[in-house]
């Protein structure tokens, strides 16, 4: 599996490179700034890009903007954002294009290597990986539309937005699959969103709605 890394801190960039290679990823490019990222993504067309949002020269949103622009050239390019902070606006930009896997993890909250590697693989395979803290802030920005949801429906919505399947939600909440399906249908009805059998598109639809 081919990976492009964008990280300005040399030690972290080298650490990510060594870690991914240890798990049989092929790191085809590891860049340190925004201007180098777009050409690398377009040239290599990796299976997944691991991108820091804030890169030189301005340390604003170069990383994410390069990734978004690359997705216009390489539709569906999987992108996993690895950031130091929750950036709701940046998450919204990334979720605008619903093609391809996307993820948003916070550096300080990645609990272990296995969690990170699993996230990279899920995004590369077209899935969605969202840090619960990011999800929480997106939910907090849209309390009025969520007022119609029950407490349990909000729990289900948060777990959906984290990228969990119906089965995983049922296990987490100690309920049956049918109960989860009922809650999800109710959520979509109350939020005015069409239901979908595609978990990835379903999560993106929810997050795009909550963040838009």
Q: What is the pLDDT of residues 156-187, one digit of tens each?
A: 888 887 777 889 999 999 999 999 999 988 88
pLDDT band at 64 (very low <50, low <70, confident <90, very high): confident
The residue ranking higher by pLDDT, 212 or 5, is 5
Q: Kind of pairing, strands 79-83 and 102-106?
A: parallel
Q: What's the token pair of residue 70?
A: 């690359």
Distance separating the N- and C-terminal Cα atoms of the chain: 33
Percentage, residues of the chain above pLDDT 90: 44
How far is Cα 202 from Cα 161, in angstroms, rounded to an integer? 9
- Lowest mean pLDDT segment, chosen from 17-21, 64-68, 171-175, 190-194: 190-194
* Packed helices 177-191 and 151-161: angle between N→C axes, nearest 10 degrees: 90
Q: What is the mean pLDDT of residues 92-106?
A: 77
The whole-number average pLDDT for the span 72-95 is 82
* Of 9, 88, 4, nearest in space to 44 by CA: 4
- 190-204 pLDDT, tens digit per residue, is 877 766 666 655 665
Distance CA 102, CA 96 (A): 11
Identify the structural domains of the chain with CATH numbers, from first to last: 2-130 (3.40.50.2300), 136-211 (3.40.50.2300)
Can you tell me the distance from the alpha carbon of 31 to that of 54, in angstroms, rounded to the nearest whole number? 13
Return mean pLDDT, the chain. Answer: 84
- Alpha-carbon distance values, 6 to 16, 32, 82 (Å): 10, 6, 9
Instruction: Indicate whether 212 pLDDT > 60.
Output: no
pLDDT above 70 covers a percentage of the chain that reads 80
């Amino acid at each position: 599996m081919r990976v492009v890394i964008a990280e300005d801190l040399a030690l972290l960039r080298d650490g990510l490179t060594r870690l991914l290679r240890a798990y049989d990823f092929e790191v085809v490019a590891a860049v340190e700034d925004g201007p180098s990222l777009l050409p690398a993504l377009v040239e290599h067309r990796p299976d997944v890009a691991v991108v820091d949002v804030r890169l030189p020269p301005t340390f604003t949103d170069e990383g994410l903007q390069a990734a978004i622009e690359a997705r216009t050239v390489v539709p569906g390019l999987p992108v996993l954002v690895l950031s130091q902070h929750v950036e709701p606006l940046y998450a919204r930009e990334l979720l605008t294009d619903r093609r391809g896997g996307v993820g948003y993890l916070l550096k300080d909250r990645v609990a272990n290597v296995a969690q990170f590697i699993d996230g990279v693989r899920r995004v590369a395979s077209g899935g969605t990986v969202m840090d619960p803290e990011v999800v929480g802030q997106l939910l907090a920005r849209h309390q009025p539309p969520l007022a119609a949801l029950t407490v349990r429906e909000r729990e289900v919505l948060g777990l959906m937005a984290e990228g969990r399947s119906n089965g995983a939600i049922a296990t987490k909440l100690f309920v049956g699959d049918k109960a989860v399906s009922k809650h999800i249908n109710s959520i979509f009805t109350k939020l005015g969103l069409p239901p979908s059998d595609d978990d990835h598109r379903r999560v993106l639809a929810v997050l795009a709605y909550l963040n838009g």
